[in-house]
Structure 1
Amino acid sequence: MTSTTAPTTTTFRRLVTAGDGTLSTETAALPEPGPGEVRIRVRAAGITPADLGVRDGFFHQIGLATGSVGLGWDLAGTVDALGPDVDAFAVGDEVLGVHDSFDAAVRGQGEAVVLPLRAVALAPEGVPLDAAATLSLNALTAKQSLDLLALEPGQTLLVTGARGSVGGFAVELARLRGLEVVAVGRGDALPTGVDGALDAAAVGADVLVAVRDGGAFVAVKDPAEPPAERGIRVTTVHTYAQPGELAELSRLAQEGRLTLHVAERFGLDEADAAYARVAEGGLRGRVLLVP
């Protein structure tokens, strides 16, 4: 039996797209959590470049959608319902989460969302709850990219887009691992001979020249993965929440070891303006939708 507080409504609003470049809000039945799931009343949800792709038809082009679909990958809010036999959280807990699957119509940019336990963690204490929405996808991507690089303490890592959301977390996490970090922003010259490169800015093949023979390179999206050369191990990170990962990242944010940046906040009814701001680029931090 699902445990929940008495709902004030049985419906919620969410942001959707038909994949035609437009956005709209719709009212839908409030989703119920199943086994191993919690429902979250969303305080804030981030907008990512991936959301721009979904708005412009990516899900529809690859056959994952035929009608309206939700948007949004990372979020923060308050647990208001528990699935059967869920005791890892309590109703009222402030949490952060990530919607890392491609197969759900109800996503993070709305008033409520249901997520599996592996994709939810308690929000860091002492941090505004909406700011916690900037952590999940970005920090997971950075952490899992570093895992793929598999560099040893003392080795040198080059991070492109180091002033951006993923790149900023990558720099902080890499230093915690004892790596020597070369942080590169737009227009900066590239060094050569580094042991590995995390291409958070999706520069692509031009960054590969900086990596020594036999080094490692990780792209954050498939089109930016260059062909391997000189024995360099080349791969792309595909972010997927594993049990315990978000909790560890939340702990680091609570300790002040990860820095959270909110660029701008928009209401759900201002989604067009919010998406336009993300498309402009040049942001320091995440644009948030606040339902």
Structure 2
Amino acid sequence: MNSSMKAMTYQQYGGPEVLQQAPLPIPKVSPGAVLIRVKAAGVNPVDWKIMGGHLDSLMDVNFPVVPGWDVAGIVEAVGFDTPEFSVGDEVFSYGRRDTIQGGTFAELVALPAAIVAHKPANLSWEQAAALPLTGLTAQRSLDTLGVTAGQTLLIHNGSGSVGRTAIQLAAQEGVRVIATGSVKNHARLRELGAIAVEYGSGLVGRVRAEAPEGVDAVADFIGGVLEDTLALLKENGRHASIADASVSSHGGHYVWVRPGTEELVRLSLLVEDGSLSVDVAQTFPMQEAARAFEASMSGHGSGKVVLTEFSN
């Protein structure tokens, strides 16, 4: 094995222009960890928000940074006492760790076995890399809200990747889902199991037309919608947001997803039985990570942006 690998890195905070390809040492594989050869890596808004310095007050950053938390790939090596995995296993992970440094936009990444799971066989590499953060976020949000069959859930930004997953997870449990999105995405939202309504001015009236008595719960996956949320909630209704910490001051829950094998397995079982699908909007080779960030920033709403292996 070579002593170095290709990686996308940045040496300082900034926009996509600070990303550059650079050789880095291959990560060491500690006890209880696996070394993964990256086949695909999902791009998430948090990746470019971290790169822009917006999480500096929350997380330690060690430059140079390899961005990326989502990954799908093949186990290249295992550390001591890692019976869960063997070389050659196909795996995926939400690979967030407490310190920002060694991410998934590289040829290889080392992750604790406790946050890695076997990849569902019926997902492509790109789909598997698109699922972890968004799927775990949707799952945790719904667990927090506790919605049950027969109740009505409003999802703000149903056409985003988290929203698309949440629609499916809720609908299969018998929850009536109303999801906001641009008109161009309404057909897909209906396919996934939601009543689609257009976001923006007049939203309260449009949702009231579908739920005259209000909704039992609201999942906010966009931010800036607290006033509408409170106007639409029934008395004793529940609401949660992944984008607006102020909900905590208004009886809501601010959700920050956690990595973990057990929760990935929950998602895998749903994928394997056909209950959960994953939309990928665009793919880019790893060396074009800056272009991928720009695509993600555009907020096209048709699925996830994913990086594939280096092509040079």
TM-score after normalising by structure 1: 0.90
Of residues 8, 25, 31 in structure 2, which corresponds to 1:29? Answer: 25
Identity %: 32
Q: 1-side partners of 2:115 and 2:59: how far apart? A: 25
Are 1:84 and 2:83 matched, yes or no? no
Query: CA RMSD of the aligned region, Å?
Result: 1.8
**Where in structure 2 are the equivalents of 1:212-291 lying within 5 Å?**
212-223=234-245, 225=247, 227-228=249-250, 233-291=251-309
In the alignment, the residues of structure 1 paired with residue 137 and residue 117 of structure 2 have an alpha-carbon distance, to the nearest angstrom, of 16
Aligned length: 280
Give 3-state SS (helix, strand or coil) of 1:207's partner: helix
Aligned to 2:82, the other structure's residue is in SS state coil
Alpha-carbon distance in 1 for matches of 2:276, 2:83? 28
Conserved? CA contact 2:42–2:70, under 8 Å = yes
Which one is further off, 80-89 or 56-65? 56-65
Q: Secondary structure at the match of 1:90?
A: coil
Q: Show the counterpart of 2:5.
A: 12
CA distance in 1, matches of 2:257, 2:221: 13
- Report deviation, 1:27: 1.1
Q: Distance in 2 between matches of 1:77 and 1:63?
A: 26
Would the aligned equivalents of 2:223 and 2:244 in 1 still touch at CA under 8 Å? Answer: no
CA distance in 2, matches of 1:66, 1:93: 30
> CA offset at residue 207 of structure 1?
2.5
Determine if the alignment matches structure 1 residue 211 to structure 2 residue 204: no
* Partners of 2:66 and 2:102 within 8 A in 1: yes
- Structure 2 regions of 5+ residues with no counterpart? 183-197, 209-213
Cα separation, 1, equivalents of 2:257 and 2:50: 16
In 2: Cα distance, 1:175 partner to 1:43 partner = 31
Where 2:168 maps in the other structure, the secondary structure is: helix
Q: Distance in 1 between matches of 2:290 and 2:88?
A: 31
Give the equivalent residue in structure 2 for 1:200.
Answer: 221
Q: Aligned to 1:95, what secondary structure does the other structure show? A: strand
Q: Counterpart of 2:192?
A: none
Q: Is the 8 A contact 1:19 1:68 kept in 2?
A: no
TM value normalised by structure 2: 0.84
Name the amino acid aligned to 1:289: L
